[in-house]
Amino acid sequence: MHRGPYRLFYVLTCGVLRAFLLCFHRFRVRGQDSLGLPRRVIVVANHCSNLDPMVVGVSFPWTLRYLAKTELFRAPLFGFLIRNLGAIAVEREDSQRAGAVLKLLLDLLEEGQSVLLFPEGHRSRDGFLQPLEGGFALLSLKMGVPVVPAVISGTFAALPPGGKWRWKPVSICYGPPIDPASIPSEMPDKTRRRLLVERVEGALRSMGAKGAGSP
């Protein structure tokens, strides 16, 4: 959680970016009332645009931490914004090593922080939800941390991978947290992870992630 001047920069950054999204993308947020009081959670969202971390960061009720490749911080303004939204720079080599990434995320959760993950592994090239990787399920089950599904809509149309920015509506919808304790503990670990992944992916699709390219 940000403290002191860092908290001030976080609040200011969220305010500026929210105003930008409202003015240029008619930004809408749904489902915040299902989240409850601030606590440690893992937010799992679909991913098809560089706008996605900002959309989640300015709309979630409390601070999230997430990992971003070091090269994203080299653009001064963009780097400044994502750093103030909770981004942590990781080298490309580290981002490709699952063990190093999981260790860093475990450390953040052990500190009591909430994290944002995009478990498709990369931005969708067609705006549709791709199969989810299971790292978030391992973290959730190991730490007993609920998973919050989040569906981002419209960012693929607004700023697709390799494309130009366009004035398109953007929205995000949060679903009710999924408690890992709802997965029977007597099952093998691999089965529990698979069931949690299926449950989260099912929640994302039921919330509209299959057609995430439009709001």
**Residues 201-213, mean pLDDT to the nearest whole number:** 78
Give the range of the structural domain holding residue 152, as residue numbers without chain letter.
4-211
Number of domains in the chain: 1
Indicate whether 153 pLDDT > 90. Answer: yes
Total length of the chain = 215
The tokens of 28 are what?
Answer: 């809408």
Q: How far apart are CA 208 and CA 215, in angstroms?
A: 9
Q: How far apart are CA 45 and CA 106, in angstroms?
A: 19
Amino acid letter for position 7: R
**Residues 14-36, mean pLDDT to the nearest whole number:** 92
Any idea which of 3-17, 122-136, 158-172 has the lowest mean pLDDT? 3-17
Q: Domain containing 143 — which CATH number?
A: 3.40.1130.10
pTM over 0.95: no
Indicate whether 84 pLDDT > 50. Answer: yes
Q: Between 76-84 and 4-25, two packed helices, what is the crossing angle to 10 degrees? A: 110
